[in-house]
Amino acid sequence: MFWYQRSRVSWLKYGDRNTKFFHSKASQRRRRNFIEGIKNANGVWVEEVDDVADVAFDYFMNIFKVGTCDRMEECLNAVNRKMTKDMLEVLSRLYNNEEVKAALFQMGPTKAPRPDRFTSLLAKAEIEGSLHGVALCRSAPPITNFLFVDDSLIFCQANKDEVQVVSDTLQLYPEALAQCINLEKSSAYFSSNVSMEQKAWIIEKLKVKEVEKFNAYLGLPTLIGRRKYKTSTFLKERIWRKLQGWKGKLLSRAGKEVLIKAVAQSIPTYTMGFCQLPGKLCDELDTICARFWWGQIGEKRKIHWKNWSFLTLPKKEGGMGFRNLRSFNLAMLAKQGWRLLRDKSSLLNSYFKAKYFLRCDFLEATGCQNSSYVWKSLLAAQPILWKGCLWRVGNGASIRVLKDC
């Protein structure tokens, strides 16, 4: 159990008894994370253990130092009251054993909870009309911010009024909650219509750096050109790094099965939920998994006793239950299309409907010129929804007499 925790391998259960694998994984992780030296605040390189510890201590002490919190009321006034008496009564009840168990078992077995906070200052600025954000088209609602767990994306127009609102918000939030914003990791991205003078003033006002483009965000490329295969090759490289090397030598046949299913074929899952991968790339990913399954390491080839299409069959039919990546890709895209049909109030539906199917639903939508790669991918899964969907008449209020007959 100790070496399992040190190895930080979540896809392989410790009941596998593969202790040599865990030892090697923990040793590799220690070598990778070992700090040989670091620069202090004066730019001097230090290598002694005590000096490195002092630099790290001073750095994090400066980041996480407690502020005055003298503007808490101003920050709380921006939060709209949404809790009813019934909700307050439910939240005020004592926790029972089942609720505590359900909350704890949702976490990883070796993880611990951490606090999470959220601010409504940007939403208040949007309601007051001082922050307008950006919109994909005329009928789409504007976007002012996306708030994730570790990142916040703020959209505004490149003028002094809106930049001042963003600057005031970024100053109010840390003063109210005593949480410093790391400006060294913050950046600004401008459209091609912003002049050099405006860029210089905004950078000076916000105290951040400018970036020309973001190569990737949340594991996905931000800009996708015509070379879809070249853009998606990062998936092939990630899977190759996971399967090659010393790991294959230390795993049993059952361990290889778990590694392929839980790691290798799960890496492209998030990308497949929005983009249709090129068929050539799917075939190459299947080839990498097949070679690893039959024991090929490096250029040393092994005999493939069964083709990969047979191994993708369920175990009750004689296969191994590996994923058919092309079919799985279409299934993930069909799931997003089903969300467009069912969840009419979602942000995803509001933007795609305003841009691509304003006067119909997703099943009746068609492709258009200069449509995005994501939209073309969703349309590729449209025939799957047509095969599996049933239309219930109900009260007949949504029936179009001239078109649905």
Write the pLDDT tens digit of every residue in 105-141: 666 554 544 434 546 777 778 888 888 888 888 888 8
Q: Please tell me whether residue 134 adopts helix, strand or coil conformation.
A: strand
Under 8 Å CB-to-CB from 315, ≥6 apart: which residues?
Answer: 321
Q: Is 202 helix (H, G, I), strand (E, B) or coil?
A: helix
Region 304-333 average pLDDT: 92
* Most distant CA pair in the chain, distance: 81
For residue 308, pLDDT beyond 50: yes
Residue type, 38: I
pLDDT for the residue numbered 86: 86
- Assign 249 to helix, strand or coil: helix
pLDDT on residue 367: 84
In the prediction, which pLDDT does 136 show? 81
pLDDT confidence of residue 203 = 92
Specify which of 20-29, 62-71, 150-159 reaches the highest per-range mean pLDDT: 150-159
* Higher per-residue pLDDT: 282 or 212: 282
pLDDT at residue 75 is higher than 80: no
Residues contacting 20, CB < 8 A, separation 6+: 250
Q: Give the model's pLDDT for residue 116.
A: 42
Rounded to two decimals, the pTM is 0.70
Could you tell me if 269 and 331 are in contact, meaning their C-beta atoms sit under 8 angstroms apart? no
- Sign of the C-alpha dihedral, residues 53, 54, 56, 57? positive
Residue 375: which pLDDT band, with cuts at 50, 70 and 90?
A: very high
- Greater model confidence, 196 or 100: 196
Of residues 257, 244, 292, 293, the one with CA closest to residue 12: 257
pLDDT of res. 60: 82
pLDDT at 7 over 70: no
State the pLDDT at residue 316.
92
Query: Which pLDDT value is given to residue 11?
Result: 46
Token pair, residue 288, equals 């990498």
More confident residue, 235 or 177: 235
Confidence at residue 138, expressed as pLDDT on a 0 to 100 scale: 82
Mean pLDDT of the chain: 81
Beta bridge partners of 152: 147
- pLDDT given for residue 8 in this prediction: 54
Which residues are CB-neighbours of 254 under 8 A, at least 6 positions away?
16
Q: pLDDT of 232-276, one tens digit each?
A: 888 888 888 888 765 556 777 888 888 888 888 888 988 898 899
Cα separation, 235 vs 243, in Å, equals 12
Q: Which residue has the higher pLDDT, 24 or 118?
A: 24
Query: Rounded to 5 degrees, what are φ and ψ at 217?
Result: -150, 130
Q: For residue 325, what pLDDT band results from cuts at 50, 70 and 90?
A: very high
What's the whole-number mean pLDDT along residues 144-158? 81
Angstrom distance (rounded) from CA 290 to CA 292: 5
pLDDT in tens, 341-370: 888 888 888 889 999 998 888 988 988 888
Average pLDDT over residues 138-152: 79
Mean pLDDT of all residues in 217-242 = 82
The residue-averaged pLDDT of 168-173 equals 81
- Using alpha carbons only, give the angle 343, 345, 347 rounded to the nearest 5 degrees: 100
Least confident of 10-19, 22-31, 390-399: 10-19
Q: How confident is the model at residue 201 (pLDDT cuts 50, 70, 90)?
A: very high
Residue 353 tokens, joined: 């409907």
Percentage of the chain lying above the pLDDT 90 cut:
19
Question: pLDDT tens digits for 277-304?
Answer: 999 999 999 998 998 888 876 667 788 8
> What is the pLDDT, as a whole number, of residue 228?
85
